[in-house]
Structure 1
Amino acid sequence: MSDDEESLDDVIRVSLWREAEFGEQPRQGLEAIQARIRAGEEPDEARHRPWLRTTIGAAVIGTAATIGLFTMLPGAVQQSGVVVPVPEAAGASVRGESQPSRGVSKPVAKFSVYWLGYQPGSKTPRLYRTVESFTGLAAVQAVRRLTGKVPDPDYFSGWTGAKVSSVSETNGVIVVDFASLPNTSQTPRASQTSQASGDDWLSDAAMQQLVYTVQSAFAQQLPVRITLQGKALGIRSGALDSKALPAAKILAPVWITSPTENATIAAAGSVKITGLAMTFEGNVTYRIWNTRTGKTVDRNAAMVLSGDDPATLRPFEFTTRLPPGDYLIECTEYSAHDGALTTRDTKSFTVR
């Protein structure tokens, strides 16, 4: 894993992907662990020491009114009030280009792609982010990623099965033209999301997934318009263009940024885990399982984030010693009010 991947910021469990990725023995261990995670099993410390719950951060996320202004950092884009670190290449890839720009044609560069994932006890999905490399028209490639295979079984896409024709920026609007719209039969739980929002085929969350992804490719917070074979489609509000929601309202509060899903780490012993979190009390818990044995190999009660602003995505990292093997890490937040699990992200990885 490169240093770039380690330093980068940005629930559907598809069993067939797991079966393709793991052999029979590790799959059984992994499925048992995942079943416990889906059931909302608390860490042993929280069950046996209820007082620990009060030390674990609450998932109270500030609204747009509480976010305020934040100082922009090098290599970051301020999206709807929250500073979101992005790869340097993304920030430099489109500035100064003539208009209209057709999808940002550049050499290989890293860009953020956003995915949907459900939070425990919630029917409203939030956005998670992966960082991927593209060549050519980055914005077109990024949207095409949303229409294909999802890279992590924690996530899903509202755009599976769609066919994108072009992505361009004209007169201050990013226009995404589709040859065909998403096939909802291929998007797990997408119909649930649409029903919850009262939309026929496109949920608010899916629209935000597209908005955040193409804004990352252009490194600009421009409104996004969808067209179908060149004809504009109105969104549920009746408007033609969509803007990004405040990050605190749509981003998942905890992201694991390294290791990535199914990564292989060629360094047995010291393994570095990194992520971003936006939690009220600035705490994140983690737990690591060996997926062959199903046993917990490392955990913590509460890891304190750097910084002191609960409405800002803040980095966390720690190092753990792991022998060669297959592992699953889960980073979570528990409510300080009642100890309930409020958010999580997981990654499967192998240490060689």
Structure 2
Amino acid sequence: MNDQPNDRFDELMRRSLAEEADRIEPADALPEIQARARSQRRPATRRPWVLTVGAAAIGTAAAIGAFTVLDDNARTAGDDQLAGSPGTTTSATGAPSSAMPTTAPAVPTPAPSAATRPPTSSAKTAPSVKGTPETMRSAAVPVYWLGEKVGTTTAEPTVRLYRTWTKIVDGRPALEAVRIMTSKDSGDPDYYSAWRGAQVSSVTRADGVVTVDFKQLPQTRLDEAAATVATQQLVYTVQGAMDNPRLPVQVTQQGRPGSALFGRIDTSRPFNRAQASKVQALVWIDNLADGQVTKSPLTVTGIAAAYEATLNWRATNLKTRETLAHYVSTKDGQAYSPFAIPLKLGPGEWRIEAYLVSAVDGTDTDTDSKTVFVK
């Protein structure tokens, strides 16, 4: 074995052990201990890679701690990556849909765990939901909402998913994100949640499946297309908060799956994330909140899947009716891609819109808007 291993983990362990050693203050009995050690000392072979169990535990703990520090401003990279490329395509029921092309291997559905199997006993006591809650010190996590799609056709669902960000401090990000989705307002009058009135109990992970258990499921009844997108509202929110877009999401009520969501969607199997282009809005503004007070100049940023990478924008002063309009290019065309709109606005209340233009009839489609107050 090399006496001077060139390994980052070993180096981290050595540093951790050195730091622990520096913290030790010898007791008054040190001279006596040293005397005993000298009287019993035996020649030993130099093996710097041998560690005691206690030292190894200290070094491992220090190493884990060094790699699990989370930046307060961290965002979920996995969530953004899926927004920009086709993912696993499944229906809201978790079964593959022939109407949705599968451009990536489907996420395999694991065998049901004790948390997701239907009960086999007639006992009235609800089964406990097994699994490990995931905790996080502080992070910005996504919460998804529903919004009406502008310029829709009858062949498409009239609602789409829109993303906002919220900061979770010293909590369970997925559980907190679901609580916001089910009980809070989005902060934008154009966004809403089909899950209002639902009462979430826990979000746990076991056997490769995330189980979201509800004390009460939403009572809203929707048509099949809207119910599919509304189900994905939960899937996208949970997976985004956990920073893992490939985790199947099982819905249970008081520990039992099987109840229908929105009067349509079977919950007996876990749900996978649907392809972004099937359920997400094609344009959204994500750095401004509706009603926000801001200064000029400002830059409006967001995500868009724009034909030929062309995104249109319009800013209207709601008092004077002054209107500015132009277009910008997104980073990529025909794929979810970032955009930035630089604006120089006078004082007042402004409505800022980002939208696409139909290649068929020239009408505005897929509009997202924010109203801001410019100082």
- Give the shorter-chain TM-score range: 0.5 to 0.7
In structure 2, the residue matched to 1:78 is 82
Deviations 1:155-190 (Å, cap 9, x if unpaired)?
111101111100111111111111111243xxxxxx
Check if 1:338 corresponds to 2:361. yes
- Look up the SS of the partner of 1:177 in the other structure: strand
Question: In the alignment, residue 130 of structure 1 is paired with which amino acid?
Answer: T
In structure 2, the residue matched to 1:206 is 230
Matched residues in 2 for 1:276 and 1:315: separation?
5
Question: In the alignment, residue 181 of structure 1 is paired with which amino acid?
Answer: L
- Look up the SS of the partner of 1:215 in the other structure: helix
Question: In the alignment, residue 168 of structure 2 is paired with which amino acid?
Answer: F
2:177 to 142, 146, 151: 142
Question: In the alignment, residue 254 of structure 1 is paired with which amino acid?
Answer: V
Matched residues in 2 for 1:80 and 1:233: separation?
32
Deviations 1:257-316 (Å, cap 9, x if unpaired)?
122222221x3x3111111100222111111111233x133111x3221234x1x21111
In structure 2, the residue matched to 1:242 is 271
Instruction: Please list every run of 5 or more consecutive structure 2 residues that lacks an aligned counterpart in the other structure.
Output: 1-71, 88-129
In structure 1, the residue matched to 2:281 is 252
Question: In the alignment, residue 283 of structure 2 is paired with which amino acid?
Answer: V
Matched residues in 2 for 1:75 and 1:144: separation?
19
Matched residues in 2 for 1:79 and 1:254: separation?
11
1:262 to 278, 291, 300: 291
| Aligned 1:15-164 pairs, distance under 5 A | 76-78=80-82, 81-82=85-86, 100-102=131-133, 104-122=134-152, 123-135=157-169, 136-148=171-183, 149-164=185-200
In structure 2, the residue matched to 1:313 is 336
Q: Tell me whether 116-125 or 250-259 shows the greater mean CA deviation.
A: 116-125
Matched residues in 1 for 2:83 and 2:350: separation?
33
C-alpha root-mean-square deviation of aligned residues, in Å?
Answer: 2.7
Question: In the alignment, residue 82 of structure 2 is paired with which amino acid?
Answer: Q
Identity of aligned residues (%): 33
How many residues align structurally?
251
Return the TM-score normalized by structure 2.
0.61
Deviations 1:22-78 (Å, cap 9, x if unpaired)?
xxxxxxxxxxxxxxxxxxxxxxxxxxxxxxxxxxxxxxxxxxxxxxxxxxx899443
- Look up the SS of the partner of 1:322 in the other structure: coil
CA contact under 8 A between 1:118 and 1:126: conserved in structure 2?
yes
- Look up the SS of the partner of 2:191 in the other structure: coil
In structure 1, the residue matched to 2:45 is none
Question: In the alignment, residue 174 of structure 2 is paired with which amino acid?
Answer: A
- Look up the SS of the partner of 2:297 in the other structure: strand
Distance of aligned partners of 1:271 and 1:163 in 2 relative to their CA distance in 1, 3 Å threshold: same
Question: In the alignment, residue 302 of structure 2 is paired with which amino acid?
Answer: G
| Aligned 1:295-306 pairs, distance under 5 A | 295-300=321-326, 302-306=327-331
2:252 to 219, 222, 227: 227
How far 1:124 moved relative to its partner? 2.6
Question: In the alignment, residue 347 of structure 2 is paired with which amino acid?
Answer: P
2:349 to 302, 326, 332: 326
Return the TM-score normalized by structure 1.
0.65
Matched residues in 1 for 2:83 and 2:301: separation?
21
How far 1:227 moved relative to its partner? 0.7
- Look up the SS of the partner of 2:286 in the other structure: strand
Deviations 1:112-143 (Å, cap 9, x if unpaired)?
11111111243531111001111201111100
How far 1:234 moved relative to its partner? 5.3
Distance of aligned partners of 1:335 and 1:273 in 2 relative to their CA distance in 1, 3 Å threshold: same
How far 1:79 moved relative to its partner? 5.5
How far 1:318 moved relative to its partner? 2.0
| Aligned 1:283-298 pairs, distance under 5 A | 283-293=310-320, 295-298=321-324
How far 1:213 moved relative to its partner? 0.3
Matched residues in 2 for 1:238 and 1:141: separation?
22
- Look up the SS of the partner of 1:292 in the other structure: coil
CA contact under 8 A between 1:77 and 1:219: conserved in structure 2?
no
Question: In the alignment, residue 261 of structure 1 is paired with which amino acid?
Answer: D
Check if 1:277 corresponds to 2:304. yes
- Look up the SS of the partner of 1:178 in the other structure: strand
In structure 1, the residue matched to 2:206 is 170
In structure 2, the residue matched to 1:90 is none
Matched residues in 1 for 2:268 and 2:84: separation?
19
Matched residues in 2 for 1:247 and 1:75: separation?
11
Matched residues in 2 for 1:329 and 1:160: separation?
28
How far 1:150 moved relative to its partner? 2.5
Bigger relative contact order, structure 1 or 2 (CA pairs below 8 A, ≥6 apart): 1
Instruction: Please list every run of 5 or more consecutive structure 1 residues that lacks an aligned counterpart in the other structure.
Output: 11-72, 84-98, 185-190
